[in-house]
Amino acid sequence: MIVEPRFAPVRQVFQDQFAEGLELGARFSLVIDDVTVLDLWGGQADRAGAAPFDDRTLAPVFSTTKALAAILVARLVAEGRLSYRQTVASIWPEFAQAGKGEITVEQALSHQGGLSGFRFAIDPALWFDWKGLCAELAAMAPLWPPGTASGYHPITFGYIAGEIFRRIDGRTMGTALREDLAVPLDLDLWIGLPDGEFPRVAQMERPKAVPSFGEVNIATRAAFLTRWASPGGRSGDEWRRAEIPSANGHATALALARLMGRLATTGEGVLDPAVRDEMARERICGQDLVLPYVMSWGAGVMRNADSGAFGPGRLAFGHSGWGGSVAVCDPERRLGLAYVMNRQGTDLRGDPRARRLIDAVYGCL
């Protein structure tokens, strides 16, 4: 473990959350000026309490994976191979069906495309068929007029972003993540997990209650509340192997914090700061049609703005994941941080455990 003396209060919060019975296993990491100043882990990696949650434990991070997808798309922008303002259909012609021809890449990445989920039934196993699922999305009519509001796309985001990426780059996002970022920067990050890594994965303890979605509408129901809203009909091993860049990333907190920390400084090997800022620039802000929050969206990332979910920094951005995981970049304070765990909470954004740790960090600065 690493604990610079000034961050001792953060360590105390981390320990208190275990003492209060809020955690099964967890890790919290902080990088400032590209230096790891805090790296805490503890608890159990399995529900039986037979395996420790240690520095090699991989945690499923669910929608925190979207931050990785957003960075991969931004790298295409940095290379001049993609513009956020061009239409998705200019890259993926089939996407123009059913009135979607004018949806831009930045609208799609900021959850404005009206494709939060499928209103009508599909086979839940179709989520494991990349081409088949993308064909369904291309044919689908938007659930609201694109560009008029955001409505969180919990799973479909990964296929839209991933197909844009694949059509330009030729590789899947999982392959590009490993080849371009994870291996060169020695980061324990995965979208699509090889079988040999399975023993390191923490067992998740699902929440004992369901999240509160507020007023449920068609967009919310399609996103979360149908039997086909998420992948099904396959084994857990097949879920780990699949490449779903919106939902099934696996990572350590340290790897996420180091990536976000590099973004917060020079961006070397990841993204130039100017492109980082363009990725994080606000595309839309207002009451989300799916999440029960006012959301400020960049091109694939949650902006902190006035929410406080990522601390006091208004320019901080990142993404949270189902159950509580989070990865944050704060360019003003040149820091990256991440929290992962295997006892899932019910908050859709701003898990109280993560917020306590984040608030403690800023209290030490």
Residues assigned a catalytic role: 63
The answer to whether residues 119 and 143 touch, using CB atoms and an 8 Å cutoff, is yes
Judged on CB neighbours under 10 Å (0-12, 13-18, 19+), 82 is buried
Rounded to 5°, angle at Cα 250 from 154 and 59: 105
Dist CA 76 CA 40 (whole Å): 34
Tokens of 14: 């981390």
Handedness of CA 302, 306, 307, 311 (dihedral sign): positive
For residue 29, which of 50, 48, 57, 51 has the smallest C-alpha distance? 57
340 forms beta bridges with 27
Element (H, E) at 36: strand 35-43
DSSP codes of every residue in 295-339: EEE-SSSEE-TTS-TT-S-TT-EEEE-TTS-EEEEETTTTEEEEE
